[in-house]
Structure 1
Amino acid sequence: MEIILLERIPRLGQMGDVVKVKDGFARNYLLPQGKALRASEANRKKYEAQRVELEARNLERKNEAEQVSEKLDGMSFSIIRSAAETGQLYGSVSARDIVEVLANEGFKIGRNQVDLNQPIKAIGITNVDIALHPEVTATISLNVARSPEEAERQARGETLDSAEAIYGEGINESARPEAFFDPNAEFDEDSEEQTAPSQGGGETA
């Protein structure tokens, strides 16, 4: 289908361009969202008549988006989720979750503005682009962690995807069998338990 773009669409064209797209993309997204018109002769004339108004409206929206971007770009947000010691989440963080986090901080963003190809499924820090306008993008940092304390550690550069990283390298030392075995202890065959070595070394009278 040939359409006239009413705003810049990434990887497609600029405002006023006439481009060919798949019918489904046009019918399900571009036309209902008011981002394009069918490229009929009547619509071409309609666009030309409204071009100045459309360009002015686009410039206004762009200026507003730039103001939001100045505040939002580079900000870091923490999201607390349950996860295994390997870092895999029991669930995921989706665009909807990101919209909610931003809303709690006063930023009204739509799900379709969150550039997240697939949900986040592991703890860690992920950069996510927010399309505030076809020509304005802000990048935020999402710190997904098991707790606020772990979020702070990740922010300092730690990678918490193993028991050793979470609890310290000594965590496995105490779990080794030799850690509970005293080679100098005597073995009581009747009780099958270790006993402390005798201090005197000789027989009693």
Structure 2
Amino acid sequence: MKVVLLERVDNLGTIGEVVTVKDGFARNFLLPRHKALRATSANLAVFEAQKEQIIARNAAAKAAAEKQAADLDGTQYVIIRQAGETGHLYGSVSGRDVAEVIVAEGGKVERNQIVLDTPIKALGVHPLKVRLHAEVFVTITVNIARSEDEAERQAAGENVIAAQFEEDRLADEAATADLLEGGAGQAVAESYEEL
């Protein structure tokens, strides 16, 4: 199906371009969201008549998005989730979760503005892109941790999972050394001698 674009669409074109897209993409995405019109002679005439208004409306939306981008760019958000010992989340963090955290802290974003190719399934600090307008992107940081203390340690650059494994290894070495020196085994031997 041929359509004329009413706004810039990634990997497709800019305002006023006539492009050929698959019928389903046009019917289910472009047309219902008013991103395009069918490229009929009547619609092309309507587009040409309203072209200045469409460009002005797009410029105003872009300016508003740039203003919002100044407040949002580079911000960091903490999400507390449960995870296993290896740092794998019980569940995942989706665009909806990120949008809810941003809105809870006073930002204004929709979940479809969060650019997330796959859900986040591990603890750590993750940079994410937010598309505020077709031409305006910002980067935020999402710190996913099991507790506020862990989030602070991760924000400082510590690899919490590696630190936990190191602590466990040192505790195991101390327990082994204690056994070899006669710690736990000695108490058992002394109790047998008393009998």
Global fold match (TM > 0.5): yes
Map 1:1-205; keep pairs closer than 5 Å: 1-162=1-162, 163-164=164-165, 167=167, 170-176=170-176, 178-183=177-182, 193-195=188-190
Taking structure 1 as the reference length, the TM-score comes to 0.86
Q: 2 CA distance for matches of 1:184 and 1:15?
A: 78
Mapped contact 1:154–1:160 kept (Cα < 8 A): yes
Equivalent pairs, count: 190
The residue that corresponds to 1:200 in the other structure is none
- Relative to structure 1, the CA distance from residue 147 to residue 185 in structure 2 (aligned partners, 3 Å threshold; closer, same or farther) is closer
Counterpart residue identity of residue 164, structure 1 = F
User: How many angstroms does 1:170 deviate by?
Assistant: 2.3
Give the alignment's TM-score, normalised by structure 2.
0.90
Moved over 6 A (4+): 184-187
Give the drift of 1:182.
Answer: 2.2
CA distance in 1, matches of 2:138, 2:120: 19
Contact 1:115 1:128 in 2 (8 A): yes
What is the identity, as a one-letter code, of the residue corresponding to 2:2? E
**Structure with more of its chain in helix, by fraction:** 2
Is the Cα contact below 8 Å between 2:178 and 2:184 reproduced in 1? no
Q: 1:175 to 1:35 in 2, by over 3 A?
A: farther
- Cα distance in 2 for partners of 1:103, 1:46 equals 38
- 1:34-93 Cα deviation digits (max 9, x unpaired): 101111111111111111001111111100000010010110000000001100001110
Q: Which runs of 5+ in 1 are unaligned?
A: 197-205
Query: Cα distance 1:14–1:54, how it changes in 2: closer, same or farther (>3 A)?
Result: same
1:50/1:184 CA distance change after superposition, 3 Å? closer
The letter for the 2-side match of 1:170 is L
- RMSD (Å) for aligned C-alpha atoms: 2.2
Amino acid at match of 1:39: A
Contact 2:82-2:146 within 8 A present in 1 as well: yes
The CA deviation at 1:100 is 0.4
